[in-house]
Amino acid sequence: MYFRNPHILFFVGILIVLAGSSCSDQESVTKTPFAFPSDFPPVAYQNPSNNANDAVFELGRKLFYDANLSKTRTVSCGSCHAQVHGFADHNIPFSFGIYGRQGVRNAPALVNLAWMTNFMWDGGIRHLDVLSIAPFTDTNEMGMTLPLVVQRANENPEYKSLLKAAYQIEEFDESKILLTLSQFMLRLVSNNSKYDRVRRGQDRYNEVEARGHQLFQNYCSNCHTEPLLTHNRFEKNGLLLSGNDVGRFRITQVPTDSFAFKVPSLRNVALTYPYMHNGSLRRLEDVLEAYNQSDRSRAPELPKFYLDTDDKKALIAFLESLTDYTFISNLELSEPR
Amino acid sequence: MKNYIFKYHKWAIVFVLVAASLSLPSCKKDPQPTPSLTGEVSFEFSHVWGLNMAPFYLNQTYVHPMSGDTLNINMLKYYISNITMTKTDGSTYQVPNSYYLIDPSENIITIKDIPAGDYKKVEFLIGVDSLRNFSGLQTGALNPSNGMFWSWSTGYIFVRVEGTSPQSETGIFMYHLGGYESPFIASHKKNYDLGNEVISINSQTKPTIHFNVNAAKFWHGPVKVADLNVIHNVGENAVSMSTNFADGFTLDHVHK
């Protein structure tokens, strides 16, 4: 007999099975699928090849806050999308990029992007995975080329181990950078404001807030559709008399799209001032008064507003209930320290 | 007792064999199709100028046959995609993932793994289909860092032509043609019937289909460098200019 001990053969067999299975199972890294809130509509983001695990998310967070990814190594995504302001800029109309250059539109708040089908004030960007190309390459923002972004990221030894954990690779390429940033941005989910807790029956509005919610549903929620507080389309509000920004027209070249802009989500709106595509209105009161007065001939679909002082107070109380303090203090979304 | 051990032993061998046969194949890829059943074809795009099909090169100064404008093109790039081949029996083969970025120095594309047979028609798109245009991040010819992607208005520049001209107000022209914002669609489908020049594709043949691409055609429509020297957006002008360029594609000859 060659095999004195038949048990060894079982052992060998089990080893072969194990070897075989580990060979076919490339994705043995622990995956914790991030759970999107079940009381929101279905997620719009689609990219079956962009799988996330915690290591990918962590890597994405580091990239988001990495100023080395700008030409002068001074500006990161987080520079103009600050968590304390609901991932909008620090209450300035136009953001500052490299060399102190200023942008031309107010930096939008990055929130609940997984439900968005288009991005930017004119909706020019149609997929989250290509969104970051714009700020990376804009000469007023980060002033880079994608190959240079890759080079800068690969210079950083800290990324090596994270890349290994996230993807079992050693070096970034262009798509890995962009897809990884998507995974961070997908988790910028705000669903724990008082508004959400009331929605879920876990909290109650006071009388003023409740009246504000009623007014909101009368005047605003056609476009700021609940619960995401945007219908993701483009509207004219008749307010915008200054400047030569033609909005959506720039993208479609359809004359009726002139001066239409993306309806922004109102989540954390109390923190994201100043308002409108050009940051021209500083306080929520200013916005409401502007809607009272705006030129309906320039915005035929806008309902007439008759908001008196009490109405405004109530609406503002409601809008303040959209602030999600968990979101703005969630350490997982903060700059790594 | 001895008998029992022997039995046990025998089952152990069976187990090892089964385990090996179950696990090993999972490491291998699916077998490749038999080579003899497929072949390849090349498309060559020769760039020409004007009615007499003068040879076209970048960085040379040409006079436009219609406007008389003096034009020196220093960049000409465009996408050829969605190649479909039709056999003589009418069946079609869509070349999977067929996206190619062409310029005068990279003007030959070779398509491999085409099912063997006799082909009578070819079809392709000048530009990128709307699905890929909008479905997020792409790689290869469609990598956004190839200078053919609009970062601020998602989608590809289907055709990019740049150069200098004394007739232009600024001395330069720069036309970035693309877009799927209805009604401004700047991609163009081309269909070529090979007529008597049916090509046989199999492991022994390497046929080439030669197309002429007439660069002067850009200015056969309403756009003149003197009036409009920059297009970098969707719209009527991009559609008109790309339509004219697409009209400048002709089947020249076939090498079997």
Segment among A249-258, B8-17, B186-195 with least mean pLDDT = B8-17
* Cβ pairs A/B, distance under 8 A: 112
Report chain A residues whose CB lies below 8 A from the CB of B5. Answer: 6
- d(C-alpha B149, C-alpha B147), whole Å: 6
Residue A14 at interface with chain B, using a CB cutoff of 8 Å: yes
Report chain A residues whose CB lies below 8 A from the CB of B137. Answer: 47, 127, 129-130, 175, 178-179
**Facing residue for A124 by CB, picked from B24, B135, B153:** B153
CB pair distance less than 8 Å for B136 and A129: yes
Interface test with B, best of A28, A142, A251 (most B CBs within 10 A): A251
A50: Cβ–Cβ under 8 A, 6 or more apart, which residues? A129, A179, A182, A183
Residue B50 at interface with chain A, using a CB cutoff of 8 Å: no
**Percent share of chain A, pLDDT over 70:** 89
Give the position of tokens 């877009």.
B179
Of the candidates A112, A122, A126, A111, the one whose C-alpha atom is nearest the C-alpha of residue A43 is A112
For B145, the closest chain A residue by CA position comes to A146
**Facing residue for A24 by CB, picked from B27, B181, B234:** B27
Residue A128 at interface with chain B, using a CB cutoff of 8 Å: yes
CB pair distance less than 8 Å for B19 and A17: yes
Report chain A residues whose CB lies below 8 A from the CB of B23. Answer: 16-17, 19-21, 23
CB A125 within 8 A of CB B154: yes
- Assess whether the previous peptide bond of A274 is cis (omega < 30° from 0): yes
Q: Is the pLDDT of residue B29 over 70?
A: no
pLDDT at residue B9, rounded to an integer: 56
What mean pLDDT do residues B155-163 have?
A: 98
- d(C-alpha B253, C-alpha B256), whole Å: 10
Mean residue pLDDT of chain A comes to 90
Indicate the pLDDT class of residue B1, thresholds 50, 70 and 90: very low
Of the candidates B87, B117, B95, the one whose C-alpha atom is nearest the C-alpha of residue B200 is B117
Name the burial class of residue A158, with classes exposed (0-12), middle (13-18) and buried (19+) by CB atoms within 10 angstroms of its CB: exposed
> B145: which 2 tokens?
């860092």
- Predicted model pTM: 0.83
**Facing residue for B145 by CB, picked from A10, A23, A146:** A146
The pLDDT tens digits of the residues spanning B17-28 come to 444 444 444 444
For B142, the closest chain A residue by CA position comes to A175
Q: Is the pLDDT of residue A155 over 60?
A: yes
Per DSSP, the residues of A65-86 read T-GGGSTTS---HHHHSBGGGT
- d(C-alpha A314, C-alpha B106), whole Å: 65
Query: In the 8-state DSSP scheme, what is residue B149?
Result: B
CB pair distance less than 8 Å for A47 and B155: no
Closest chain A C-alpha to B230 CA, distance in angstroms: 15
